[in-house]
Amino acid sequence: MSTAVTPPVLQPIVDEPVPQPVRWGDAELARLTTMVRQPSLFYWNGPQTTALLADFRQHYPLKYLFPCSSGTASLHIAVGALRLRPGEEVIVSPITDMGSVIGILYQQGVPVFVDLDPRTYNMDAGAVRRAITPKTRAIMAVHLAGNPCDMTAFLAIAREHNLAVIEDCAQSWGARHQGTPVGLMGDFGCYSFNDFKHIACGDGGMVGTNLDRYGNGLSKWGDKCYDRVAGTRDPEELAPNYRMSEPQSAVCVAQLGKLEDIVTRRNRAGSLLTSLLQNLPGVLPPVTRVGDFHSYWFYFMRLELTQLKCTRADFVAELKAQGVAANAGYIPMPVFRYKVFQNHNFFGGAWPIRDFGLTTMDYTKVRCPVAEAILEDGITMPLNQAMSDSYIEKVARAIRSVAARLAR
Ligand SMILES: Cc1ncc(COP(=O)(O)O)c(C=O)c1O
């Protein structure tokens, strides 16, 4: 007979599953029910799209808007409307989604990756400034994880060098820089309604601008360069079909009605967690600039491994044992390290603008040490509007107990 003693089962500090919000319901159903009775599901003058544009402007008063098929599409439309010329450069973050750079590359532009601020994980203004060349055309401000970029600095740099600013707000619905919602400060605001975002319709996006020089024609950039206003068809430029259709618009209208509540709750949960993780050896919570409003698409903190007697993997394993839904890292590597960049394999194994001497960019030589470090010691955790203060307090207690045990 075995004499082994079964160790007592310890209750994890977070003793409940990750709260999950109900994301779609009666409001979406009501809109969709009305929609299926329409004679057409086409976006142009469609009732759902018309309602979406009106409601969107309540949150983001942009003069020109085009509802489109994805955040990627919104950014591609912005770059197209800017009339980026082959070989022109757009400064962008190396910690982002491919969607930020796909449009730049398709327009034969050059994404120029610059390093990040170690605590906000957004582009460092000094690094942006140093990356400017005579070919620089735009700065793409990616507001990562819901934390606004230092738009005051970026706008000053842009003014000084006559650059456009494209705001990638895919992860930052409801975020504000010094009181102004993201997407309203640059030349273009670009948003994503993909399934994972604060508000979602499966896949969708929105691009907007207040500037007549880009806005007149913005819609053409996502609609084959057809002129819906004049009803004419004689495209003067090459443009894709990135239209949204009525079913997505119907869901988006209902989702926008929930935006403020979702963002308020996420900000409360994220801010509480950040405040509870202050002054904890080995743990660096994210930093939001004073006067900015973080809408916490997810929670992204870093470890100070010199203060800990363990690896990040050990720390995450301990967090998981305590019931925290923690993940080691975010994207696996900076975007410029992806194979497509390392091999310059953008168009069937070739990169025409480099072959024709319009750029000398070599992505194998790009270095962004802060971005690399963030991805090596960062920990991401889900954060959502269903998380109560007491749930967040448990998560904080679990992190504090793991850090206390593993501190040097
Ligand atoms: C920062 C950022 N930009 C752009 C995109 C692209 O959005 P979509 O997936 O809607 O094309 C995403 C999507 O994850 C994103 O996180």
Residue with tokens 């020089």: 213
Cβ 171 under 6 angstroms from ligand 1: yes
How far is 71 from 171, CA to CA, in rounded Å?
Answer: 10
Q: Whose CA is nearest to atom 4 of ligand 1?
A: 99
pLDDT at 60: 98
Q: Do 26-258 and 259-331+371-406 show the same overall fold?
A: no
- The third-level CATH classification (topology) of the domain covering 26-258 is Aspartate Aminotransferase; domain 2 (3.40.640)
Whole-number Å distance, alpha carbon 37 to ligand 1 midpoint, is: 32
Q: How close is the Cα of 201 to the center of ligand 1, in Å?
A: 14
In 143-225, at which residue ranges do the beta strands (DSSP E only) sit?
Answer: 164-168, 176-177, 180-181, 188-192, 205-209
Q: Ligand 1 in contact with 402 (CB < 6 A)?
A: no
- Rounded to the nearest whole angstrom, what is the distance from the C-alpha of residue 178 to the centroid of ligand 1? 24
Ligand 1, pocket-test mutation among 116, 194, 201, 380, most atoms within 8 A of CB: 194
Whether the CB of 107 sits within 6 Å of ligand 1: no
pLDDT of 217 reads 81
> Domain extents for the chain?
26-258, 259-331+371-406
Check pocket membership of 122 for ligand 1, CB cut-off 6 A: no
pTM above 0.95, yes or no: yes
pLDDT of residue 216: 83
CA 12 to chain centre: 32
6-11 CB contacts, 8 Å cutoff, 24+ apart: none
Q: How many Å lie between the centroid of ligand 1 and the Cα of residue 97?
A: 5
Verify whether ligand 1 is closer than 6 Å to residue 94 (CB atom). no
Closest atom of ligand 1 to 196 CA is 14
Adjacent-strand bridge partners of 192: 205
Give percent helix, percent strand, percent coil of the chain, each to the nearest 5: 40, 15, 45
What pLDDT does 259 receive? Answer: 98
- Pocket lining: 167 vs ligand 1, CB cutoff 6 Å: no
Topology given in CATH for the domain delimited by 259-331+371-406: Aspartate Aminotransferase, domain 1 (3.90.1150)
Residue to substitute in 98, 192, 197, 252 for testing ligand 1 pocket (most ligand atoms within 8 angstroms of CB): 192
Identify the pLDDT of residue 286: 98
**Token digits of residue 50:** 């018309």
If you measure from the C-alpha of residue 173 to the centroid of ligand 1, how many angstroms do you get, rounded to a whole number?
12
The residues near 169 (Cβ < 8 Å, ≥ 6 apart) are: 143, 175, 182, 183, 189, 190, 191, 192
Q: Say if residues 170 and 190 touch (Cβ distance below 8 Å).
A: yes
Answer yes or no: are the C-beta atoms of 315 and 303 closer than 8 Å: yes
Q: Which two tokens stand for residue 71?
A: 């955040």
For residue 172 and ligand 1, the question of a CB distance below 6 A is answered with no
| pLDDT tens per residue across all 408 residues of the chain | 445 566 666 799 999 999 999 999 999 999 999 999 999 999 999 999 999 999 999 999 999 999 999 999 999 999 999 999 999 999 999 999 999 999 999 999 999 999 999 999 999 999 999 999 999 999 999 999 999 999 999 999 999 999 999 999 999 999 999 999 999 999 999 999 999 999 999 999 999 999 999 998 899 999 999 999 899 999 999 999 999 999 999 999 999 999 999 999 999 999 999 999 999 999 999 999 999 999 999 999 999 999 999 999 999 999 999 999 999 999 999 999 999 999 999 999 999 999 999 999 999 999 999 999 999 999 999 999 999 999 999 999 999 999 999 999
Unique residue bearing structure tokens 């007979």: 1
